Amino acid sequence: MSDWEEDWDNGDSKATSKPYNKRNNAKDNSISNRSDESGRHRSSENRAPIRYPQAGEKRSNGQRHKHSEKIEVPSDLVGMLIGRGGANIQRIQNDYNVRVDLDKESGTATINGNTEQNVKDAYNDIEHHLNNGPGSRYNSKDGSSGHQSNAIYNFQLKGRNNKPGDTDDIEMDPSGVIDWEALNKKAKKERAARWSKLPELRKDFYNEDPEVANLTPREVARLREENNNITVSRVFQQENVSENIPNPVWKFEQCFSAYPDLLEEIYKQDFRKPSPIQSQAWPILLKGEDMIGIAQTGTGKTLAFLLPAMIHTEYQLTPRSQRKGPNVLVLAPTRELALQIEKEVNKYSFRGMKAVCVYGGGNRREQISVVKGGVEIIICTPGRLNDLIEAEVIDVTSITYLILDEADRMLDMGFEPQIRKVLLDIRPDRQTVMTSATWPPGVRRLAQSYMSNPIQVCVGSLDLAATHTVKQVIEIMDDGDKFYKIREFVRNMGKDDKAIVFCGKKTRADDLSSDLTLEGYMCACIHGSREQSDREQAIADITSGHIKLLIATDVASRGLDIEDITHVINFDFPRNIEEYVHRVGRTGRAGRSGTSISFITREDWGVAKELISILEEADQEVPIDLRNMAERFKSMKDRRANESSKFNDRDGNSGSRGYRGGGGAGGRGRRDRY
Ligand code: AMP
């Protein structure tokens, strides 16, 4: 569950009234309710003991186990034993067919299993983990202590990249103060030694077509402007240094004529020409430059980084058969996006290159077996990647082309530590691509730390363009009327209609889907707490037309690319205007027309102004009630600002009692709730 979905679930939301709620939504303690979209573990302090269900098993099954063993777990190592989103404990349960109950209060883990051997093996695994995991100071059964010193423990707690044993000879003074300078010097030396052993890397595969090379600066500017107003710059380069950014292309052949088999694959897709991001990204990436693409899903960004990745992989100096592991790593925030990328990769067969999608919630054993079988491209969510790196299934030192897809989203979801951890293990001279819908400070810092003089390419969203092919209808109503409205809509759906209904909260989505089902309308529902297999089935069912109605939350629907959606219904209005644009872009795809219908309530007034701008820009009808809402909101803001300045004048400080800042035009941040 994402942070914001959780906020809404905690009742910090406008959408709290559920007039048609017929079910008890009391939360159970199952692992899905403690995990987010990507299986992120949620704090479970004060819950003891924790019972971790096995894969496919619901919670308590009343089963009695014949063998049992207890192991002591120091409280500060409980999290490490559980692993991200319960990944480690689940792995132990799956691998040894045991059940592990953790009692955080007494600091014990009880292992139950049907054979003595299984329990013993699980015991040894846990003991090994506690002894050897990061920060371990655990004393095992035989009295020997974990091999890491306190110095290393502290070092790792500070989030530095370090391997056990790296700092064995670092002196600590008697008061326990670490000599950071010596430590950093040593780490730098060791890193240099580590990378020096790797094979030489080739990154430049670009032969600029004379037609492209001969463009005048004025023609280049015009091309960029016509291509959805692309802007390019070296974001971190000092002024007055030549930027040296390759010219954009406008034909596939200008980039890929040297690779006729790849060109054939592109022709099979029947695309007319490179999308704006592709027209600029391909020359940059084929030249071996690092790139930041400020672009959303639907802009063709996947293909923009994928085709250069394939060429990069194929034409390294070391033959593919002699390489030690995958070359391309794509990190994506959600399982849906990771699967979507895999689908896109699999459309292009190039020299037998294989890709695998690795994500929390998928079949771990199957994913491991594919990875071990040899793949060139790994697409994964950060949590599962770390899990597999720790289990030594994936070795990222062979990665030479790295993509951080939807970086802003990954940071929003709290993946920054995992990303930074992985990045430190990838050779620093790699080629790095980052995509992001926005450019907040967190993303900027990440790019500054881990990219080499990157070129930033900003592209106006094609989704935004899509809003021009979509009829946008606004319906203002009370929350209590929404269900009757949606029922009326479903009743009147034509035989070729397909709709996605967006809800703000998972419980809303669950309630709506069950109530529509009870009324006899077939639908499927996807959100962060649904089993991965159910989510995939729901997407397959709406894609095939088996069902016509998909109820979804934003997070679960990210990356959805279903061509023939005719309607998008905003049952709950999204928390920000970007999400609105993104949702609307789920229809009107691939040259088709579409309709979006948004149910707006009084509580949505904070977004009315931005919504009006979008509607006006796309030449859509703006209801007078929406304009009134925007006016009322503005008056309220002015009044509060006035009160606040009076308050400041009086107290001589800038206290901001009560009112929490305005929504901010175009901001991605959380919408104010009143
Ligand atoms: P993405 O932004 O990567 O999610 O891509 C969205 C959709 O655009 C996918 O279905 C792609 O197959 C499609 N696409 C990619 N490149 C092009 C292109 N040059 N012209 C038309 N569609 C494209």
Alpha carbon distances (Å) from 271 to 27, 42, 464, 469: 47, 43, 20, 19
Distance CA 321, CA 633 (A): 63
Least confident of 202-206, 311-315, 482-486, 560-564: 560-564
Is the model more confident about 179 or about 537? 537
Query: Where residue 432 falls among pLDDT bands split at 50, 70, 90?
Result: very high
Query: Ligand 1 pocket check: which of 230, 254, 344 to mutate, most ligand atoms within 8 Å of Cβ?
Result: 344
Is 18-196 a CATH 3.30.1370.10 domain? yes
Atom 17 of ligand 1, nearest CA residue? 300
Distance CA 651, CA 655 (A): 8
Number of the ligand 1 atom closest to the C-alpha atom of 269: 12
The amino acid present at 471, given as its one-letter code, is K
pLDDT of 151 above 80: no
Q: Are 551 and 524 in contact (CB under 8 A)?
A: yes
pLDDT of 143 above 80: no
Number of the ligand 1 atom closest to the C-alpha atom of 275: 19
Is the model more confident about 1 or about 171? 171
For residue 304, report the distance from its CA to the centre of ligand 1, in Å: 9
Residue 11 C-alpha from the chain's centroid: 24
pLDDT at 467: 62
Query: Ligand 1 pocket check: which of 256, 262, 269 to mutate, most ligand atoms within 8 Å of Cβ?
Result: 269
The 10s digit of each residue's pLDDT in 109-132 is 888 887 787 888 888 888 877 776
For residue 300, report the distance from its CA to the centre of ligand 1, in Å: 4
Please choose, from the candidates 401, 334, 498, the residue with its C-alpha nearest in 3D space to the C-alpha of residue 5. Answer: 334
The pLDDT mean for the chain works out to: 77
Query: Where residue 531 falls among pLDDT bands split at 50, 70, 90?
Result: confident
For residue 207, report the distance from its CA to the centre of ligand 1, in Å: 24
For residue 352, report the distance from its CA to the centre of ligand 1, in Å: 22
For residue 585, report the distance from its CA to the centre of ligand 1, in Å: 13
The residues pairing with 568 across neighbouring beta strands, listed in sequence order, are 500, 596
For the segment 211-224, the average pLDDT, to the nearest whole number, is: 94
For residue 584, report the distance from its CA to the centre of ligand 1, in Å: 17
Number of the ligand 1 atom closest to the C-alpha atom of 559: 4
3-state helix vs strand vs coil in the chain, percent to 5: 45, 15, 45
Q: How far apart are the first and last CA of the chain?
A: 24
Taken in order 132, 133, 138, 141, the sign of the CA dihedral is negative
Distance CA 511, CA 23 (A): 7
Atom 15 of ligand 1, nearest CA residue? 300
pLDDT at 610: 87
Is the model more confident about 522 or about 142? 522
Is the model more confident about 559 or about 535? 535
Is the model more confident about 666 or about 400? 400
For residue 289, report the distance from its CA to the centre of ligand 1, in Å: 22
Distance CA 357, CA 380 (A): 6
The 10s digit of each residue's pLDDT in 356-391 is 998 877 788 888 888 888 899 999 999 889 888 888
Query: Ligand 1 pocket check: which of 249, 254, 271, 457 to mutate, most ligand atoms within 8 Å of Cβ?
Result: 271
Superfamily of domain 470-628, CATH level 4: P-loop containing nucleotide triphosphate hydrolases (3.40.50.300)
pLDDT of 33 above 90: no
Atom 14 of ligand 1, nearest CA residue? 300
Q: Are 102 and 132 in contact (CB under 8 A)?
A: no
CATH of domain 210-458: 3.40.50.300
Which residues form the pocket of ligand 1, taking CB atoms under 6 Å from any ligand atom?
271, 274-275, 278, 297-303, 344, 561
Atom 13 of ligand 1, nearest CA residue? 300
For residue 483, report the distance from its CA to the centre of ligand 1, in Å: 35
Please choose, from the candidates 89, 80, 171, 180, the residue with its C-alpha nearest in 3D space to the C-alpha of residue 130. Answer: 80
Alpha carbon distances (Å) from 90 to 73, 84, 96, 114: 17, 10, 10, 17
Q: For the chain, give every residue range classified as CATH 3.30.1370.10.
A: 18-196
Percentage of the chain with pLDDT > 70? 75
Q: Are 550 and 501 in contact (CB under 8 A)?
A: yes
pLDDT at 329: 97
pLDDT at 301: 92
Atom 23 of ligand 1, nearest CA residue? 300
pLDDT at 406: 92
Q: For the chain, give every residue range classified as CATH 3.40.50.300.
A: 210-458, 470-628
Is the model more confident about 592 or about 138? 592
Number of the ligand 1 atom closest to the C-alpha atom of 347: 12
For residue 299, report the distance from its CA to the centre of ligand 1, in Å: 6
Atom 9 of ligand 1, nearest CA residue? 300
- The structure tokens 């089935």 sit at 537
Residue-by-residue DSSP string for 593-614: -EEEEEEE-GGGGGGHHHHHHH
pLDDT of 46 above 50: no
535-538 contacts at long range (C-beta below 8 A, 24 or more positions apart): 535/335, 535/336, 536/339
Segment of 1-10, 49-58, 330-339, 467-476 carrying the highest mean pLDDT: 330-339
Number of the ligand 1 atom closest to the C-alpha atom of 344: 12
Residue-by-residue DSSP string for 337-367: HHHHHHHHHTT---TT--EEEE-TTS-HHHH
For the segment 647-652, the average pLDDT, to the nearest whole number, is: 52
Residue 491 C-alpha from the chain's centroid: 35
The 10s digit of each residue's pLDDT in 256-285 is 999 999 999 999 999 999 999 999 999 999
Please choose, from the candidates 476, 532, 456, the residue with its C-alpha nearest in 3D space to the C-alpha of residue 35. Answer: 532
The 10s digit of each residue's pLDDT in 458-491 is 886 545 555 677 899 999 999 999 999 999 999 9
Exposed/middle/buried for residue 509 (C-beta within 10 Å: 0-12, 13-18, 19+): buried
255 Rama class: left (phi>0) / alpha (psi -120 to 50) / beta: alpha
Please choose, from the candidates 556, 384, 627, the residue with its C-alpha nearest in 3D space to the C-alpha of residue 2. Answer: 556
Segment of 152-166, 225-239, 420-434 carrying the highest mean pLDDT: 420-434
- The structure tokens 């009808």 sit at 621
Atom 10 of ligand 1, nearest CA residue? 561
Number of the ligand 1 atom closest to the C-alpha atom of 302: 3
Is the model more confident about 165 or about 483? 483
